[in-house]
Amino acid sequence: MGNKSLQDTLAELHVRQEKAFIPYIMAGDGGLDKLKEDLLRLQNAGATAVELGVPFSDPVADGPTIQLAGKRALAEGVTLKKIISKLIEIKDEVDIPIIFMAYLNSLLAYGIGNFSNDCVKAGVSGCIVPDLPIEEEEILAQDLKNANISLIRLVALTSSQERIEKIVENAEGFIYAVTVTGITGVRESFEEEVGLYLNRIREASSIPVLAGFGISTPEHVERASLYCDGVIVGSKIIQSLQSENYREIDELILASKKVIY
């Protein structure tokens, strides 16, 4: 069947008045042979799409859980080329959109043109590059656009209104609203000010706004989803997959289904 595009999937959700839930996993954590199993598990649990991390030796935005997952993947010999080859192999079995989360050096080493072309073959629908500011997007923006791959921009909690407006202008796919200052990880509370911040981005943006970083409980998912179009959950998903506590994942996804527009 092959992957649906990110834009189509998000548009369908909006029509159904449902919120998005995008789990993050590290490609090759536990070996690349496990990737198909993990993607199908998340797809069957009701995930909107999957954000697929590319292991990197110096992951500046990642908290301890994701860093360790990256180290485990690197120890398995996982590379971007091997990840793409595996995705091409399983493409017809995975229906939901795949979004790469990769640092710029990995893409430059691969070659931007080659990366874009191979992503099309692998059914990849979006790309997040956390260390690429919009001022430097021309390095890869056109190649990705030609391949119909959304380059997803991040907004920081510290961003000014002027900066938010600059980021949302001509943005693609969805806006990734970072809900903490600092690195990813599991956190206990969801700050009240985050709701105001998400509202500000949503008012400025013509495309969906998803909240990520530090969202780790069903309560976080419900509260964040009240203020935006869905959530991204990483560290908690990785922990749950590692401990084989799949019920935790089901509960997180279920929480996103409780909130309607």
Please give the positions annotated as active site: 51, 62
Angle at 95 between CA 245 and CA 80, to 5 degrees: 75
Q: If we measure between CA atoms, which residue out of 125, 132, 170 comes closest to residue 150?
A: 125
Phi/psi for 209 (5° steps) reads -115, 120
Strands 20-26 and 209-212, bridge-based pairing: unpaired
**DSSP line for 225-237:** HHHSSEEEE-HHH
Return the structure tokens found at 228.
């935006």
Say if residues 51 and 20 touch (Cβ distance below 8 Å): no
